[in-house]
Structure 1
């Protein structure tokens, strides 16, 4: 949902209703890039000024106009809009929205609890950690090429991995991929220091 903003509202300082179709296409493109499913959704509300006529302060992801082609990003509302969002970032230019959305949506996909909404996820993780994820973002971790775990592990290791995976409601392959990603991320963060 978006307020009318330009050209109808004299208080508007940036686009809302006329800009939302393009913004939603860009959000969907980020969803696809990070691997979120089509059924995954986020309540997005946009206004062209801080008056908040479209209630962005209740959204899971609210955009509030704070200058020409610039928005505040609000996070933490709930899908049913019963919880207030909080200001996450200011003065984000419209052309830079993906730089914020991509790490947030990627980590929501990877670290959310079962059926956890985006707003609940952002509240659970906390803005300090989310800010760190945005600042350090270098793109999604590429999954290793698919392989048969049985071919690369001895029987005892494979069986242990399979038991541990069952405890986590995953396949042995999924657990192995997570271990590899963690290892790669640890090595990459060690090289960047």
Structure 2
């Protein structure tokens, strides 16, 4: 939900209704980037000034205009509107919203309790911890692909492969893939080994 703001409201200091479609697209892109399902939802409200005509103070994520192309970010409301949000950050430029949203949504996905809403998650985590997460954010942690070669070999072969890999400063998986690539290349060149 968004208030009319520019160009209809003389109190507006930034966009709301005209800006929310782009903001929602950007939020959806952040959802995809951090791995949140398309069916996940967050109650979002945007206003062009602190009067709060679109009730951002009850949203899970409220954006309240606090200057030209700038918003306060409010967090902690609940989907059923039974809890008020609180100010999380001031003077966040519209072009910098992802720098705040990405770590918040990433950690919501990773650390929430079963079926915990975004607003409940932010309240449970506490703003001090959330500020720390935003300040230290360097992007989603990419977990390295882990391959378990043990089911495909006997114990002695696996241990030998692991030893050889260590000598070559590689993982057993890297070494196995290298052996397979070399074997396939040899097969294609007619030099069966």
Calculate the TM-score normalised by the size of structure 2.
0.77
CA distance in 2, matches of 1:80, 1:20: 21
**Partner deviation per Cα, 1:109-128 (whole Å, 9 max, x = no partner):** 00000000000000000000
Structure 1 runs of 4+ off > 2 angstroms? 148-152
**1:19 aligned residue:** 19
Greater CA deviation, 141-150 or 75-84?
141-150
Q: Structure 1 124/149 Cα, relative in aligned 2: closer, same or farther at 3 Å?
A: farther
**TM-score, normalized by length of structure 1?**
0.77
Q: Could you tell me which residue of structure 2 aligns to residue 50 of structure 1?
A: 50
Q: Deviations over 1:77-102 (max 9, x none)?
A: 00111110000000000000000000
CA deviation vs aligned residue, 1:7-59 (integer Å, no higher than 9, x gap): 00000000000000000000000000000000111000000000000000000
Unaligned runs of 5+ in 1: 156-193
> What is the RMSD computed on CA atoms of the aligned residues?
1.7
Q: Give me the whole-angstrom Cα distance separating, in 1, the residues matched to 2:123 and 2:112.
A: 11
2:135 corresponding residue in structure 1: 135
In structure 2, do the counterparts of structure 1 residues 134 and 7 end up closer, same or farther at CA, with 3 Å as the change threshold? Answer: same
Per the alignment, residue 62 of structure 1 pairs with 62
